[in-house]
Amino acid sequence: MSDAWWDEYESRPKRPPPARGIKMKKAGTTWWGQRWLEALERLSGGYSNRLSRGRSYARAGRTHDLVVKAGEVTARVTGSRPTPYKVSLRLTKLEDATWDKAIGAMAAQAHFSAELLAGEMPKGIDEAFQVAGASLFPERESDLHTHCTCPDWANPCKHVAATHYVLGEALDKEPFLLFELRGRTRDEVLAALRAARRGAAPDARGKAATHVDGQVPSVQLGKVPAGAYEAWRETPPPLHLGLERPEAPGALLRQLGTPPGWTESASPAELLGPLIRAASERALRLALLGSEEFPASPRRRGRRPRGG
């Protein structure tokens, strides 16, 4: 087939990007976003020219009306025609049995829960899905189905590529969209993960059973003399304290999100996270001063404070 028609199609003047267009700044800034883009490039075969045009479209803000739902992404891309092109990306949904096995593998690693609750995607997450015989990312052409209303026969066309790059940047900011594309919401995955960590049996959608069989035993309190109310009945066990660095620093800030009225371009977690991390490290050093990890200096060891 001659490419003359394509050259004529490409030479048409482009319509200006819409005001609501999503301008991609930089996609693939996280390891999971990079894996998503690598999947596109791996599955694109010999259409690297379409990818470069797609990146240009994504940076120009020609992609708009992006919607992500269970297993599917839809968007519109403004090109040379008056009517924007309709684009769809569909990922194969994972079956419930596959999800159950993957969540069971995730529950076996405590850091998975900590990082997911902090809004981050653990680096070893795909190993949990491989235990279930699957992958969180598209690996084969059958995993990713694309469609565009443009006349280009290539897969992906530049409109599909633009949508893929814009989605890659969205995944950098919200990694749980990967779960959504595979058929589970963030809340469903976290609920199933909590249930698995507790040893409860979740249902097919990740909700743990809440019913209780039998009667709840009551507690009978005996009479206690007023003078002995605060006395220990027996010597309490020795108290041991342990101080450890958090597995996911700044997790609480990420969970709280951005408060109403916040006007800074960076989120509270981005601005305050480094300060809180530094304060935490300082507090840990002070708490462990004199230990093997942080030995006290000869000057300060055994020195009495001066009166003031």
pLDDT band at 10 (very low <50, low <70, confident <90, very high): low
Residues 113, 109: Cα–Cα separation, whole Å? 8
**Is the residue at 184 inside a domain?**
no
Q: Where is mean pLDDT largest: 10-24, 213-227, 241-255?
A: 10-24
Please give the pLDDT value at position 88. 92
**Is the residue at 25 inside a domain?**
yes
**Is the residue at 46 inside a domain?**
yes
**Is the residue at 261 inside a domain?**
no
Mean pLDDT confidence for 73-86: 90
**Is the residue at 110 inside a domain?**
no
Count of domains observed in the chain: 1
- Does the pLDDT value for residue 87 go beyond 90? yes
Q: What number of residues does the chain have?
A: 308
Please give the pLDDT value at position 293. 57
**Is the residue at 263 inside a domain?**
no
pLDDT band at 97 (very low <50, low <70, confident <90, very high): very high
Report the first-to-last Cα separation within the chain, whole angstroms. 92
Please give the pLDDT value at position 219. 55
Burial grade of 269 (CB within 10 A; 0-12, 13-18, 19 or more)? buried
**Is the residue at 166 inside a domain?**
yes
For the chain, percent of residues with pLDDT exceeding 90:
15
Please give the pLDDT value at position 47. 65
CB within 8 Å of 11: residues ≥ 6 apart: none
Q: Are 189 and 179 in contact (CB under 8 A)?
A: yes
- Does the pLDDT value for residue 212 go beyond 50? no
Q: Which domain holds residue 25?
A: 11-94+135-174
Mean pLDDT confidence for 2-14: 54
**Is the residue at 203 inside a domain?**
no
